[in-house]
Structure 1
Amino acid sequence: MDPITAATHTDPYPYYASLQARGGMTFDPQLNLWIACSAEAVCAVLRHPDCHVRPAHEPVPRAIADGPAGRVFGRLMRMNEGERQRCPRAAIAPVLQDIDPQQIEALVRARFLRNGAEGLHHAQFIGPASVVAALLGFNPADSRLISELTGDFVAGLSSLSDATQLDAAHRASEQLATFFQERIEAQDNPWLARICQGFNGLDQDGLIANLIGLLSQTYEATAGLIGNALLALIRDPALHQVLGIDPTQIGSLLAEVQRLDPSVQNTRRFVTAPCDILGTTLKPGEVILLVLASANRDPQLNPQPDVMLLERANRRSFSFGTGRHECPGQTLALGIAHATLGAILARELPLDQLAWRYRPSLNGRVPLFSDRA
């Protein structure tokens, strides 16, 4: 196992503990990466101005750079620094904080939840992005289509993507851009209007790209959060029983799951200037792998880090980032996951009849469910 293959391992956490034992910042010669695995090291890297989200020589992944998906990627606030990061964030982040949880719950419950693995797949992957599309003013049919197109876009962003997935990502980018252009011109949705107002004077392509980015962030991270929460209930029937009796604990469960077994296990930063982090001298062009899932279990950050505690005091986590690139959609993602998990528990779906595996990924931990044979 290494820090990358660990993301989809059945239980990577003992391995992460062994990484921490070696020190907060270590160099892996086989991967040719610096590894930041302690809370102190991860926080220092995420907050350092010379550690960027993309390498200077490749701001857009080479595989998509010349197509529509690459043009969207290049404008995403989460993949940029400076004004191209700050301005879109300033327009979108305040709106995401004002979403009514009851509205999210109503949108989730309005979607029919099928039994078995097919129903869970819909709840994990189709539902969350559909909810965001509905908040932006799309009708139910278009919301579902937009969610499916978002899945195609996301599938083309991985270095594991094949030619078919790359082609689908380019087509999806164009279709999503057309959908959003029509929605913006309609000027009939207050939520979208607030975002557009925040982008006043900024380029229209940047606005559309970051609306697509809002969907893509929701799609994968929320799917993993919902799936890993379900796995926690499958692995601990007593915990499942507690939530069945007291659904008000769903929020505490999700907060602990995103710390204990996060859907984003690692992320990368690229050194752009000579710098020193916790006594380690770094050169431009070097790459740092931040093992967020390891830092979440640092005992200096959370006492009893390997134990699930619903009522954990002062819970801290790097799963949604920190510093200038902290995810602005944390409240939205947790709200959608909360409503979705509540709907699943209310239906009393037989979770013990499910099998699962993790979707292939270099950094994500997203379970895919199937009906047990």
Structure 2
Amino acid sequence: MTPFDAATHADPYDYYSRLRQQNGLLFDEDLRVWIASSANAVEAILGHPDCRVRPLNEAVPPAIAQSSAGVIFGRLMRMNEGPQHLCPRQAIEPALNSIGTENIADVVSHVAEALDNPGENLDELMFTLPVCVIATLIGIPSSQQQDVAKLTRDFVACLSPLSNDIQLGIANDAATRLSQLFSELLGNADEATHFLSHLLSGCEAIGWIDQKALIANLIGLLSQTCEATAGLIGNTLVALHRQPELVEDIRATPLLVADLVAEVARYDSPVQNTRRFVAKRCMIGDTVLEAGDTVLVLLASANRDPFVNPNPDSFLLKRTQRRTVSFGAGRHKCPGQQLALAIAAETILAWLRRKPASSIRSLRWRYLASLNGRIPLFHRDRETYE
């Protein structure tokens, strides 16, 4: 098994444990990358200023470098360092933090009512509903939200090295359409939602007036929500399938759903790994990394490190001092972590209100092909995906 195989393996966690026992940071001769598997190594890599999110000579993947999707990619704060990372984050993070949990419950409920059948259609529940929630907060009209969710899912293909030329072409078209849509939205700023007003005020306060970068990062909010939150929702359903007694616990005490989703994020992370690229020679613990090295950072392995989470292979709702790096750490830690957890929690509650407790036992799934994401695709018995 390789770390890339592990992301979608039925149970990769024994493999991660063996890696941690060998060395928290080791060099894989076959893959030609460093592998960080322990919590200490993962947090050190994510926090080191010389471990960057992109290679110095490749700001945008070559496959999309000349496309509209590539232009957006190059402006995303999550794919940049320095001012191109810090300026949008200084505006976007406070706006995300201004969104109240109660508001999320109302928005999820409203969006769920507008969808076709999120109780039966788990693909819609996982992928469409969360993106529509973010679209609502940004101010996309309800009549356009499902189209925006589809465009976002199309755009996300540009982020995967597994996508073929046809998928990349569709992603490029989606990038163009989403850019046009957000340009029109920002042209009507007088009708901005609470979130968008807060964001625009933040941009003004720090003197960040790059509208094209703002549009790119609004698309980035949708794209990060799309697959990561889908994986969080899906893996929570998997956890309920494996421990069906939790369904009645959640029904009896709905507030427990926040603990449930938080533990799923640690126990079965929707983002299993990420990468960092060494910009100049540096030390991580006792290991020297050279400029040009690549580090594969195993977030899911760090979450199961017994030195930071005692009894890590047990699923504990009321785990004390839970430490999770599923949303990253350091300067690139996801600014929407609490929002993603809240959306996933409210989505699970919305599903449980629509389905009998016994329905959780009938779930069957396989994992979406990915090198780093862990997203279950649910199906009925004998049903397969092409």
Correspondence list, 1:1-373, <5 A: 1-110=1-110, 111-112=112-113, 119-187=121-189, 188-189=191-192, 190-200=194-204, 201-349=208-356, 350-373=359-382
Higher alpha-carbon deviation: 179-188 or 235-244: 235-244
Aligned residue pair count: 373
Deviation at 1:244?
Answer: 2.6
Q: Secondary structure at the match of 1:369?
A: strand
Deviation at 1:371?
Answer: 2.1
**Distance in 2 between residues matched to 1:89 and 1:11, nearest whole Å:** 35
**Distance in 2 between residues matched to 1:279 and 1:324, nearest whole Å:** 23
Q: Secondary structure at the match of 1:31?
A: coil
In the TM superposition, what whole-angstrom CA distance separates every residue of 1:299-335 from its partner, at most 9, and x where no partner exists?
A: 1100000001100000001011111000000111011
Deviation at 1:172?
Answer: 0.6
Q: Secondary structure at the match of 2:61?
A: coil
CA contact (8 A) 1:128 1:218 kept: yes
Higher alpha-carbon deviation: 153-162 or 344-353: 344-353
TM-score (norm 2): 0.94
CA contact (8 A) 2:72 2:175 kept: yes
CA contact (8 A) 1:116 1:354 kept: no
TM-score (norm 1): 0.97
**Distance in 2 between residues matched to 1:263 and 1:50, nearest whole Å:** 26
Deviation at 1:116?
Answer: 7.9
Q: Secondary structure at the match of 2:264?
A: helix
Deviation at 1:193?
Answer: 2.3
**Distance in 2 between residues matched to 1:354 and 1:115, nearest whole Å:** 16
Summarize the Cα distance change of 1:118–1:66 in structure 2 as closer, same or farther, 3 Å threshold.
farther
Q: Secondary structure at the match of 1:99?
A: coil
Q: Secondary structure at the match of 1:327?
A: coil
Q: What amino acid maps onto 1:141 in structure 2?
A: S
**Distance in 2 between residues matched to 1:193 and 1:60, nearest whole Å:** 30
Q: What amino acid maps onto 1:370 in structure 2?
A: H
**Distance in 2 between residues matched to 1:367 and 1:353, nearest whole Å:** 14
In the TM superposition, what whole-angstrom CA distance separates every residue of 1:209-262 from its partner, at most 9, and x where no partner exists?
A: 000001111111100000000000011112223223222210000010000000
**Distance in 1 between residues matched to 2:118 and 2:103, nearest whole Å:** 26
**Distance in 1 between residues matched to 2:367 and 2:201, nearest whole Å:** 40
**Distance in 2 between residues matched to 1:370 and 1:245, nearest whole Å:** 28
Higher alpha-carbon deviation: 78-87 or 96-105: 96-105
In the TM superposition, what whole-angstrom CA distance separates every residue of 1:54-81 from its partner, at most 9, and x where no partner exists?
A: 0111110111010000000000000000
**Distance in 2 between residues matched to 1:344 and 1:129, nearest whole Å:** 16
Q: What amino acid maps onto 2:80 in structure 1?
A: N
Identity %: 50
In the TM superposition, what whole-angstrom CA distance separates every residue of 1:21-44 from its partner, at most 9, and x where no partner exists?
A: 001110100110100000000011
Q: Secondary structure at the match of 2:64?
A: coil
Q: What amino acid maps onto 2:129 in structure 1?
A: G
CA contact (8 A) 1:184 1:192 kept: no
CA contact (8 A) 2:272 2:298 kept: yes
Summarize the Cα distance change of 1:22–1:117 in structure 2 as closer, same or farther, 3 Å threshold.
farther
Q: Secondary structure at the match of 1:247?
A: coil
Higher alpha-carbon deviation: 136-145 or 255-264: 136-145
Deviation at 1:156?
Answer: 2.1
**Distance in 2 between residues matched to 1:11 and 1:254, nearest whole Å:** 19
Q: Secondary structure at the match of 2:200?
A: helix
Q: What amino acid maps onto 1:352 in structure 2?
A: R
CA contact (8 A) 2:154 2:167 kept: yes
CA contact (8 A) 1:117 1:369 kept: no
Higher alpha-carbon deviation: 255-264 or 232-241: 232-241
CA contact (8 A) 1:253 1:310 kept: yes
Summarize the Cα distance change of 1:114–1:14 in structure 2 as closer, same or farther, 3 Å threshold.
farther
Higher alpha-carbon deviation: 239-248 or 46-55: 239-248
Q: What amino acid maps onto 1:13 in structure 2?
A: Y
